[in-house]
Amino acid sequence: MIFGPIKFVLRLVTAIVSLIVLYFAVTFVQIWMTGHEHSSARAQAILVFGTTEDNGTPSPELRTRLDQALLLYRQGRAPWVAVTGGNRPGDVYTEAGVSAAYLEQHGVPGSRILRGAGVDTWQNVSTVLPALRAHGIVTVITVTDPFHEYRAMAISSSQGLKPTPSPVPDSPTIKHSLWRYYLKETMEVGVGRVVGYGSLSSWTTTVTKISIPSGG
């Protein structure tokens, strides 16, 4: 008789674990499919998600995102370009500032560039949102790496924007341990949908601050 309850608990645990595995497997498929989707729709703005800059110049990863935004802008897909990204400890330049300078050097008028900041995807959107709203912008074409496209769109949607995807086709990132990026995105999307992307951002940025020792 004692084995009856034990078997029930084991079956329950197995069912829960199976559901969790299925949930994250479906999440991975959604991320993969969105990263290979290229919308042809027009929008009010192109939203470029920041990534590392190199002492005032775009890193190869950031440059591919900016080049994708330039292509869309020249095609007349949107009249505005919004750039995002702050700076890390020790950085002199911000990702958004470097991005704006690069776009201007390649023909985008400074008056058509909106700037945000942020150290993660949630903050990228939330910091540029006031500028977007000031110009009545709701529809955006999100430009980022393929593995990041789903989360970028989900966070944009959760903050009131209507995104369509335009992932970069040839990011240098995809040549290095790509599975780790997809695993990270699968975990962050899976957890973010449960606890809320804003809450996840607040928790992860707090952990990051704690892990970085303060200077003198």
pLDDT over 90 percentage in the chain: 76
Q: How confident is the model at residue 204 (pLDDT cuts 50, 70, 90)?
A: confident
Q: Is the pLDDT of residue 216 over 70?
A: no
Single pTM value for the model: 0.88
Q: 85 and 99 in contact (C-beta within 8 Å)?
A: yes
CB 162 within 8 A of CB 35: no
pLDDT confidence of residue 91 = 79
CA atoms within 13 A on the CB side of 11: 6
Confidence bin at 94 (pLDDT 50/70/90): very high
CA distance 130 to 133: 5
Structure tokens at 88: 């890390």
Q: What is the pLDDT of residue 32?
A: 94
- pLDDT value for 2: 60
Helix (H, G, I), strand (E, B) or coil at 76: coil
Q: What does the domain layout of the chain look like in residue ranges?
A: 45-168
Place of tokens 């499919």: 33
- Assess whether pLDDT exceeds 80 at residue 168: yes
Q: What is the dihedral of CA 32, 35, 39, 45, to 10 degrees?
A: 140
**C-alpha torsion angle, residues 85, 86, 90, 93 (rounded to 10):** 80
Stretch 38-64: mean pLDDT: 94
Superfamily per CATH, domain 45-168: Isochorismatase-like (3.40.50.850)
Rounded average pLDDT over 8-34: 93
Q: Compute the mean pLDDT over every residue in the chain, rounded to the nearest whole number.
A: 90
**CA 128/CA 66 separation, integer angstroms:** 16
**Greater model confidence, 139 or 90:** 139
pLDDT score of 172 = 84
The residue with greater pLDDT, 161 or 11, is 161
Model confidence at 4, pLDDT cuts 50, 70, 90, reads: low
* Region 160-180 average pLDDT: 87
DSSP code for 37: -
| Residue 1 pLDDT level (bands cut at 50, 70, 90) | low
Q: Give, in order, the Cα–Cα distances in Å from 34 to each of 28, 90, 150.
A: 10, 34, 6
